[in-house]
Amino acid sequence: MTIQLIRVGIIGCGNIGADHIDRVAHQISGARVTALFDVATERVQELAAQVGAAAMATASEVITSPDVDAIIIASPGQFHAALTIECIAAGKPVLCEKPLAPSVEECEAVLAAEQAAGRRLVQVGFMRRNDVGYRHMKANLNAGHIGDALILHCEHRNPDVPDSFTSEMSMTDSVVHEIDTSRWLLDEEIVRVRVIAGKQSPLAAKHLNDPQLVIMETQSGVIISVEVFVNARYGYDVRCEIVGSNGVTSLGAQDLGQFVSNTQRNVTMPANWRVRFSDAYRAEIQDWINGIQAGEPRGASAFDGLAATVVANAAVQAVKTGETVEIPVLEKPAFYA
């Protein structure tokens, strides 16, 4: 049997888009980059020349190109739903960066389009599901090594953020990853959220609550605590631990190496999420390509994208009101079983 080489079009060539171009061109087997689009025309032409792809004038041209079998969407979030629906209409598999869409209505429109098309074409870029550390945690839990999950502790620290970053974005941009990993690790839905803003870091912008503590609860009553601190300065630091009835499982060391000298031990940390999760991104895209070749959907589905947006938007409401927000449990269509 010959395995089809997947020709990938990439829409959005900013930081993460450019990383994906490099990954597909140089680190992924069974795929190559054939078409690119970005509003920054000079940049896209430069990137296209580097990997031997065509620079297209519009996103739609990438999607409908006869030289493109599958698409990665790495444009800003507000364009995700419309572009994903165009990919579905073209009958092409699409890996859409998170969020699937900022609003619940747009996510629902994607699910409706995919179900009408009659086959799973959409994967959402929740790359932590492909991180080795998180996968070990899930395997340990599923194997029964720690008994029943009781509490999930998460820390999400970014060194800094641009001035345009808001307290709500801490939920939709950052905590949305903990929302997805919690649902995936625990295999149940989140039903309640509240957000506490305590003493503010003097290094945070005046308009930003930072750090914030997010407390969520699942259907069975597992408590999830997320510290989100986007001005932690010292490095990018993501931690996670499940406390079970008979043990704990947690992410292992994420150091980039260390040295000892002059009676001191020095550990290098990732400077940002692109470094910390580069292996996870590579594994995610390889798995996506393998899934397309095997004709079976893998990774986070459009339903997972919708569920994450529902909880992230509830967390935004909790930031705004200071109150606990109840979250109705979504019914999962059989299509996504």
Q: Which residues bind ligand ISE (CB under 6 A)?
A: 158, 173-174, 177, 273
Angle separating helix axes 176-186 and 132-142, nearest 10 degrees: 30
Q: 65 Cβ partners below 8 Å, 6+ apart?
A: 9, 34, 35, 54, 56
Please name the amino acid found at residue 100: L
Which CB atom, from 237 or from 287, has the smaller least distance to ligand ISE? 237
Question: Which is closer to ligand ISE, CB of 105 or CB of 160?
Answer: 160
Q: Which is nearer to ligand ISE, 175 or 191 (CB)?
A: 175
- Closer residue to ligand ISE in complex, CB, 53/72: 72
**CA–CA separation, 107 and 104 (whole Å):** 5
At its nearest, how many Å lie between ligand ISE and the CB of residue 36?
21
Closest CB to ligand ISE among 174 and 301? 174
- Minimum Å gap between C-beta 207 and ligand ISE is 16
Q: How far is the CB of 114 from ligand ISE (least distance, A)?
A: 23
Q: Which segments within 121-272 are labelled E, that is strand?
A: 122-125, 149-157, 190-197, 212-218, 223-229, 237-244, 247-250, 258-261, 264-267
Q: Nearest distance from residue 227's CB to ligand ISE, in Å?
A: 12
Min CB(131)–ligand ISE separation in Å: 11
Degrees (nearest 5) of the Cα angle 327, 134, 81? 50
- For ligand ISE, the nearest residue by Cβ is 174
Q: Which phi and psi (to 5°) does residue 257 adopt?
A: 120, 165
In the bound complex, what is the minimum distance in angstroms from residue 185's beta carbon to ligand ISE?
17
Residue for token digits 């493109």? 68
Nearer Cβ to ligand ISE, position 6 or 107? 107
Is 31 or 154 the residue whose CB approaches ligand ISE more closely? 154
Is 186 in contact with 251 (CB distance < 8 Å)?
no
Smallest gap from Cβ 177 to ligand ISE, in A, equals: 6
Residues 161/197, Cβ–Cβ less than 8 Å = no
Say how far apart CA 337 and CA 225 lie, in whole Å: 28
- Specify the residue for token string 């171009």: 21
